[in-house]
Amino acid sequence: GESVGLHLPTLSVQEGDNSIINCAYSNSASDYFIWYKQESGKGPQFIIDIRSNMDKRQGQRVTVLLNKTVKHLSLQIAATQPGDSAVYFCAERPFSGGYNKLIFGAGTRLAVHP
């Protein structure tokens, strides 16, 4: 089994509902924010990113919202499906850190129930 998900906060949703996963970040100087999805036994996979000069970006069934005032990032998944079950990580890229030296959050487990 995948032990990386132990001790993580879990969001449980019904299939077809919308999911909102939240993340607080720490560095006001970060210029990019990214969401990754990690399925059991696999490496993290890029979902969507957003620049610090934007407050909303939409992808296919996913929307990322950025609130710089309170240093908050959220990932919204529309019509959640069983295949969305995974651990989701937010990450920030500090502007002074160079390309893709990302700082990852601890992750949130999304459990989708039929």
Restricting to residues 42-81, name those near other proteins by CB under 8 A: 42-46, 49
Question: Among residues 53, 60, 69, 100, which is the contact residue for other proteins, using CB under 8 A?
Answer: 100
- Considering the complex, state which of residue 4 and residue 17 has its C-beta at the smaller distance from other proteins: 4
Non-local CB neighbours of 112 within 8 Å, separated by 6+ positions? 13, 14, 15, 19, 80, 81, 82, 84, 85
Q: Report in angstroms how near the CB of residue 15 gets to other proteins at its nearest.
A: 27
Between vectors from CA 83 to CA 79 and to CA 87, what angle results, nearest 5°? 100
Question: Among residues 84, 107, 110, 112, which is the contact residue for other proteins, using CB under 8 A?
Answer: 107
Structure tokens at 39: 């399925």
Examine residue 111 and tell whether it contacts other proteins (CB under 8 A): no
- Considering the complex, state which of residue 24 and residue 79 has its C-beta at the smaller distance from other proteins: 24
Examine residue 21 and tell whether it contacts other proteins (CB under 8 A): no
User: If residue 87 lies in a helix (H) or strand (E), which one and from where to where?
Assistant: strand 86-94
The pairing of beta strand 108-113 with beta strand 10-14: parallel
How many residues are present in the chain?
A: 114
Give the residues lining the site for other proteins (CB under 8 A): 3-8, 32-34, 41-46, 49, 89, 91, 93, 98-102, 104-107
